[in-house]
Amino acid sequence: SEELALRTKDLPAVSTEGYRIRLNGNMEFLEEIPSLLAHGAEGIGLYRTEFMFLDRKTVPSEEEHYRAYKQVLEAMGGRPVTIRTLDLGGDKVPGKVKHEREPNPAMGLRAIRYCLSHRDLFRAQLRALLRASAHGNLRLMFPLICGMSELREARAELESCRTELSRAGVPLGKRFPVGIMVETPSAALIADRLAQEADFFSVGTNDLIQYTLAIDRQNRDVAYLYKPLHLSVLRSLQNIVSAAKSAGIPVSMCGEMAGDPIYSLVLLAMGFDELSMTSGQIPVVKNILRRSSRSEAAELLNNAMQLTTAEEIERYIRTEMDRRF
């Protein structure tokens, strides 16, 4: 795989008929950047900033946020860097800002909800992002958006921070794209509306599958029911992509599904513009995409979606993938 990485690092992920998909990297820590670049990441598709909060007692200052984002943007040298605002709560509970235990953390005060109810924390991050945007190609995204009101509220907070900083004479970059994670069934179902006010979509399949199938992604007892190829998930993904295409905004996927080569043809067929994954997966997925035809992938997906159970669909896709690769 290291050999494959070296060989394909500078080649584009392009299907046999020339359909281009951008392959980005997921990251949690700055130390991961060299490996992402060595494996051919064309940008950062997901920077999970909440990891800065874990394993520590104090909340990072605006300055700490700023330094981290500036470093990533500079290290990526003009390539797009998608930074997700804090996805705290749920499975990621920091020491200092730890909340009272919730009976249903996945459905509780997490991600954008957490930020909208901890405005000082949110503003420190937004101010840092606005300042850092002068140093590279920033794209900002909000996690766990469930409706348009949340997107508007988050955007309003960003604009208020922008105004505050520019009044104070702080140098800011130019305006950058502001997108959302599509990772709840509600967002997937109103993707056409959200696409009117989001600059891009990035599908978080880890959560989208969890909420669509009502399968706690942490619970081993129900892990066997966690099915990325469940027909409901496939329909949901199709709806999201089609809403993005109609509105003319880019659509990416940054959940685990994006980096598992078994799904590469399905995602090629659906029309994702970008996929984001861990460094080791980039050469593997690229290798499959470069050897595939999009029209053949479309036929495969169409056949799969005539089937009904997740087991049938999985068996069909696995057989076809084994036959090809």
Residues engaged in binding ligand PEP (CB under 6 A):
46, 48, 87, 183, 204-207, 254-255
Return the number of the residue (25 or 204) whose C-beta is nearest Mg ion. Answer: 204
204: contact with Mg ion by CB under 5 A: yes
The letter for the amino acid at 302 is N
Nearer to ligand PEP, 250 or 255 (CB): 255
Partner touching 179 among Mg ion, ligand PEP, none, CB below 5 to 8 Å by kind: none
Among residues 40, 55, 26, 58, the alpha carbon closest in space to that of 286 is found at: 40
Q: How far apart, in whole angstroms, are the C-alpha atoms of residue 16 and residue 263?
A: 17
Q: From ligand PEP, Mg ion, none, which one binds at residue 254 (CB under 5 to 8 Å depending on kind)?
A: ligand PEP
Binding partner at 85 among ligand PEP, Mg ion, none, C-beta below 5 to 8 Å by kind: none
Q: Which is nearer to ligand PEP, 80 or 204 (CB)?
A: 204
Tokens read off for 202: 């990035």
Region for residue 214 given its phi and psi (left: phi exceeds 0; alpha: psi -120 to 50; beta: otherwise): left
> Do 24 and 276 touch, CB atoms closer than 8 A?
yes
The item of Mg ion, ligand PEP, none sharing an interface with residue 205, based on CB under 5 to 8 Å by kind, is ligand PEP
- Provide the minimum distance between the beta carbon of 255 and ligand PEP in the complex, in angstroms, as a whole number: 3
Neighbour-count burial of 226, counting CB atoms closer than 10 A to its CB (0-12 exposed, 13-18 middle, 19+ buried): middle
Q: Is 57 exposed, middle or buried (0-12, 13-18, 19+ CB in 10 A)?
A: exposed
Q: Is 207 in the site for Mg ion (CB under 5 A)?
A: yes
Minimum CB–partner distance for residue 204 and ligand PEP (Å): 3
Q: Which is nearer to ligand PEP, 137 or 202 (CB)?
A: 202
Least Å distance, CB 301 to Mg ion, is: 24
* Residue 33: count of CB within 10 angstroms of its CB: 20
Cβ atoms of 51 and 91 within 8 Å: the answer is no
Quick one: 204 or 283, whose CB is closer to ligand PEP?
Answer: 204
Q: Which residues bind Mg ion (CB under 5 A)?
A: 183, 204, 207
